[in-house]
Structure 1
């Protein structure tokens, strides 16, 4: 009975998500394009993206428990750095932390709706198999950070296969060191149980999100030192959330 219930929830979620992203998302972008006040138009789109992030969990009949909202910087851009458990980490960050840009794998460029919003948020598409293009993409991200764009980074490089944190990849926080933009560490626990890597059926449940105090990259002498410090904060946070 539980498997059948989860299957119904899954089909419901995919149907709503596709309609919302492709059709309603297209309407939102069109409406914003027709607005004369460009600042108001952008605020409208960002608000709708945040709503999508929050609604995604309602469509899954899942609760999100957030701690540390007061740590989110209000007066400048920043880099959200989080562990990566599931595809649901993306709407989780968008809905409950920041409508930031993503350094996304190039394959997402081909998905209608998703690619529109990655571009709208000033995201960068990364070709990991092409070192030259990867360097170019990171330079583009650095330039955008310098111009005030907030970014979201998953330094593990991929979703965890079992929910446990993977080591952060070398140079994964280089964009923070190059720009001096504050890092906002975020610990996630529970999205793995909603939908593990390489699975497609959802299991509704509770998700926990802990937003830590911002970290100033300028305090560190190297990317390695910064990376290890931030990784340790996030890892400790994950361990704490496991006990909830």
Structure 2
């Protein structure tokens, strides 16, 4: 209920007026049935603008910290993300992420849309970073298409660390669905998972026009945070 209230009556109309989001490739979104929307991740606001332009409901994964904060801000954050039906994701990878992926699998089995950021975290500098293989495992287990999605200019309105976004136009590009059915049954093969992930990231690079960096965004953030010697 909160998802649709915000989209159509509260936040959505305001965002449309202020940011005038444009969208390309909306015809690639299936009118029914399951699919994964795999997006680059430039800004916190990505999770607002993509659902805004897609007619169907999207269930996203969100970082676990949004659900576990303390104090008034933490309680508000947890209540908001739970209220709009988002799924907490432990971003350390491996088995720690399995709960979120299993919840995503249930979303897809219900015939719904599931949104995920293959990079695992926001880009620290606007470039596209190496993808995590969770999206590939999920796609092969569920046997569903993956739609590459490029958010455009959202980092300009709300870069990392900025709480209140500035006003500027943003866009969304949705690419044709990627079919990985040729790898059915191989969701536990790490070489297949990496191949599927790299194919997806290549499509995201082509769609977004971003420079690609063959390292994880989390590692890039850690490197930036280390004091220079």
TM-score bracket relative to the smaller structure: 0.7 to 0.9
Can you list the C-alpha shifts for 1:102-151, whole angstroms capped at 9, x where unaligned? Answer: 12222222445654564455532123358654323322322332232321
Query: Aligned pairs, how many?
Result: 196
Q: TM-score, normalised by structure 2?
A: 0.74
Among 159, 163, 168, the residue aligned to 1:205? 168
CA deviation after TM superposition for structure 1 residue 207, in Å: 0.9
Q: Contact conserved, 1:174 with 1:223, CA < 8 A, in 2?
A: yes
Among 46, 53, 74, the residue aligned to 1:96? 53
Among 94, 101, 104, the residue aligned to 1:138? 101
SS of corresponding position for 1:151: strand
SS of corresponding position for 2:170: strand
2:203 matched residue in structure 1: 233
2:117 matched residue in structure 1: 154
Q: Distance in 2 between matches of 1:107 and 1:180?
A: 30
Unaligned runs of 5+ in 1: 1-28, 30-44
Q: Contact conserved, 1:157 with 1:169, CA < 8 A, in 2?
A: yes
Q: Distance in 1 between matches of 2:169 and 2:130?
A: 25
1:85 pairs with 2:48: no
What value does the CA root-mean-square deviation take over the aligned residues?
Answer: 2.6
Can you list the C-alpha shifts for 1:189-242, whole angstroms capped at 9, x where unaligned? Answer: 1000001012234222121211111122213462222212221111111118xx
Answer 1 or 2: which has greater helix percent: 1
SS of corresponding position for 2:171: strand
2:32 matched residue in structure 1: 75
SS of corresponding position for 2:4: helix
Unaligned runs of 5+ in 2: 69-73, 187-191, 211-229
